[in-house]
Amino acid sequence: RRCDVLNRGFSGYNTRWAKLLLPRLIAAGAGAESTAAVTLFFGANDSALEELNPKQHVPLEEYAANLKSMVHYLSSVGITEDRVLLITPPPLQEAAWEKACLAKGERLNRRNATTGEYAQACVQVARACGTDVLDLWTLMQKQQDFSSYLSDGLHLSAEGSRFVAAQLWARLGEKLSALPLLVPYWRDVDHTDPEATLL
């Protein structure tokens, strides 16, 4: 009841493409003052191995530059750095992802160590730009077996999505709880005359 959540997820996209698309998604003059937070969650596709997945691969330095560019763009339209949260790619469970690749007639096209380099670059960009960061790559691997967080070794499972939601709420909850209610709590609605309360 405090804000609307807009999801702009694009399966398979990397930062090179997202950087170009961002001005269409969040245009100048589109109510930046009422934007509580923006999350940017990229890196799993950028970190694909160039020789096996050149379409999605983005070199590490370009990935970092693209993230910085997106943060700077958001700032230019009035969404300040303190309202931006960068999210690193999650870790890769190589054995499960290799099985998924082989089922499609492909070779393993990602490595967890490489994904970790992109995660570290994301953390460094957040520090340099003054944004918050959610380091999924590190947090998920604190669990000895993090495979339950991934449905196929790469994509989040239901459990992984719950983990991300809990981590996000830990970072965004304070900002969002300070916002006024847009509509009243259900107990405060006059059930005999709801129009009087809601309109």
DSSP track, 115-158: HHHHHHHHHHHHHHHT-EEE-HHHHHHTSS-GGGGBSSSSSB-H
pLDDT recorded at residue 159: 96
Amino acid at 189: V
Does residue 1 belong to any structural domain of this protein?
no
Provide the residue type at 117 as one letter: E
Tell which residue, 68, 62, 54, has the closest CA to residue 22.
Answer: 68
> What is the tally of structural domains in the chain?
1
Indicate whether 7 belongs to any domain.
Answer: no
Both tokens assigned to 34? 């009422």
Provide the mean pLDDT of the chain: 93
Of 53 and 175, the one with more pLDDT: 53
pLDDT for position 185: 86
Quote the pLDDT of residue 177: 81
Torsion-angle region of 130 (φ positive above 0: left; ψ -120 to 50: alpha; else: beta): left
Domain with 150, as residue range(s), is 15-197
- The band of 136, judged by pLDDT with boundaries at 50, 70 and 90, is very high
Instruction: Decide if pLDDT at 144 tops 80.
Output: no
Domain contains 3: no
Question: Which tokens go with 168?
Answer: 């996000």
Q: Which helix (H) or strand (E) holds 193?
A: none
Q: Is residue 69 part of a domain?
A: yes
For residue 96, the domain's CATH number is 3.40.50.1110
Two tokens, residue 140? 């998920």
In DSSP terms, which residues pair with 134 in a beta bridge? 87
Classified as helix, coil or strand, 39 is strand
The answer to whether residue 190 sits within a structural domain is yes
The reply to whether 8 falls in a domain is: no
Q: Structure tokens of 36?
A: 């509580």
Residue 27 has pLDDT above 90, yes or no: no
**For residue 4, is it within any domain?**
no
Torsions phi, psi for 192 (to 5 deg): -80, -20
- Which pLDDT does position 33 carry in this prediction? 80
Residue 180 lies in a domain: yes
Backbone region of residue 31 per phi and psi (left: phi > 0; alpha: psi in -120 to 50; beta: other values)? left
